[in-house]
Amino acid sequence: MAVATVGDEATASIDVTTETIDAYADLTGDENPIHLDEAYASETMFQGRIAHGMLGAGVVSAALASLPGDIVYLDQTCSFEAPVRPGDTIEARATVREDLGDDRLRVETVASVGGESVIEGEATVLSLPHDQ
């Protein structure tokens, strides 16, 4: 009956394609043209399509879910540091930094592309034995 403890780390990754971005837009209803319209996006500061920020945050969620035990999100902060583009691979890492008591943990979360941080944040989670 393992639970996450200070020092535990977990990772998750996803290859971002235009199809991934389109599917995320269909799933969430977020049809911002900066994500979906190459001609429009090429005229913006990003000079092309970018992935939804929360698509990257979803990879962070997958990393958290890979920690030992049952992980329940309580809160999450995200600072979006750089865009993610079609063709990028997002790798997220969740590192347990502090035991807050009452089964709560503070977890550092970072998503990166090619070693460059694209999302930085912190989560508070419950870490419960798997059989609860």
Query: CATH number of the domain that 78 lies in?
Result: 3.10.129.10
DSSP letters spanning 9-62: EEEEEEE--HHHHHHHHHHH----HHHH-HHHHHTSTTSS----HHHHHHHHHH
Domain count, the chain: 1
For tokens 């807050």, what's the residue? 100
Q: The pTM is what?
A: 0.93
44 in a domain, yes or no?
A: no
109 in a domain, yes or no?
A: yes
96 in a domain, yes or no?
A: yes
26 in a domain, yes or no?
A: no
For tokens 């837009």, what's the residue? 25
68 in a domain, yes or no?
A: yes
pLDDT of residue 1: 64
Dist CA 84 CA 74 (whole Å): 26
Tens of pLDDT, residue by residue over 80-117, are: 999 999 999 999 999 999 999 999 999 999 999 999 99
Dist CA 26 CA 36 (whole Å): 11
**Are the C-beta atoms of residues 14 and 90 closer than 8 Å to each other?**
yes
Dist CA 90 CA 106 (whole Å): 22
Domain extent, residue 99, equals: 9-16+52-128
**Is residue 132 predicted with pLDDT exceeding 70?**
no
Residue 130's pLDDT band (cuts 50, 70, 90) = confident
32 in a domain, yes or no?
A: no
Q: Mean pLDDT over residues 36-50, rounded?
A: 98
28 in a domain, yes or no?
A: no
Tens of pLDDT, residue by residue over 22-41, are: 999 999 999 999 999 999 99
Beta-carbon-side half-sphere exposure of residue 37 (alpha carbons within 13 Å): 10
For tokens 């780390």, what's the residue? 9
pLDDT of residue 11: 98
